[in-house]
């Protein structure tokens, strides 16, 4: 069993996050894959803790930082937000860590925050990720044609949404699937 935890981002994570964001394991899957400069990153990192519409966590596997998860566009009036995550260490992929993170975030959004909807956007050719989202109950709500430009090519993006009622319907099966892989699924406070 792999021990996975999500913890708040700390000051000492700054350089790690910049390296991850610019790495070939992460940058190709982001909306902007240009190299992020240190000054730009420093401005973002300094502002992030004060932004009430965002929340960031470091994903740890076996006590080692391996990725980032975040909520954004947090809208407490309409009880919704969006989310994204990445695993920066390629050796961690295919082990169920992404599925654990997805479960943890869904529990946090729908149980701890009490929100009604969670949204995400995925580059359409990142099939493994949008299929993972669908396995947790997300539905494709939008196909955004030529939505982003990667190099000289425009790419399609899928917008996927999940309602709290739909999550509650699939949660037991998702929990069982992760428990069968040996993950300990504590409740999210």
pLDDT computed for residue 180 by the predictor = 92
Rounded mean pLDDT of 13-38? 92
Q: What is the pLDDT of residues 142-184, one digit of tens each?
A: 999 999 998 889 999 999 999 999 999 999 999 999 999 989 8
Residue 124 inside a domain? The answer is yes
**DSSP 8-state symbol, 187:** P
Q: What is the pLDDT of residues 85-95, one digit of tens each?
A: 999 988 888 89
How many separate domains does the chain show? 1
pLDDT computed for residue 189 by the predictor = 45
pTM for the full predicted model: 0.93
Residue 173 inside a domain? The answer is yes
Residue 101 inside a domain? The answer is yes
Residue 31 inside a domain? The answer is yes
Q: Which two tokens stand for residue 76?
A: 């407490």
> What domain range includes position 11?
4-180
Identify the three-state secondary structure at position 65: strand
Q: How many residues does the structure list for the chain?
A: 189
Residue 122 pLDDT > 70, yes or no? yes
Rounded mean pLDDT of 103-119? 97
Residue 161 inside a domain? The answer is yes
Residue 188 inside a domain? The answer is no
Residue 33 pLDDT > 80, yes or no? no
The whole-angstrom separation of Cα 84 and Cα 92 is 17
| CATH number for the domain that contains residue 101 | 3.40.630.30
């Amino acid at each position: 069993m792999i021990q996975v935890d999500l913890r708040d981002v700390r000051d000492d994570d700054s350089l790690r996050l910049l390296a991850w964001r610019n790495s070939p394991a992460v940058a190709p899957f982001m909306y902007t894959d240009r190299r992020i400069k240190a000054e730009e990153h420093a401005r973002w990192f300094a502002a992030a803790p004060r932004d009430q519409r965002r929340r960031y966590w470091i994903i740890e596997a076996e006590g080692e930082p391996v990725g980032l998860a975040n909520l954004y566009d947090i809208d407490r009036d309409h009880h919704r937000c969006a989310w994204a995550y990445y695993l920066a260490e390629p050796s961690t992929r295919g082990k169920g860590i992404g599925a654990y993170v997805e479960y943890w975030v869904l529990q946090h959004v729908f149980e701890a925050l009490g929100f009604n909807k969670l949204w995400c956007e995925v580059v359409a050719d990142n099939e493994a990720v949008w299929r993972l989202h669908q396995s947790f109950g997300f539905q494709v709500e939008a196909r955004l044609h030529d939505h982003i430009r990667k190099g000289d090519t425009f790419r399609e993006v899928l917008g996927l949404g999940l309602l709290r009622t739909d999550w509650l319907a699939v949660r037991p099966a998702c929990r069982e699937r992760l428990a069968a892989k040996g993950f300990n699924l504590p409740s999210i406070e």
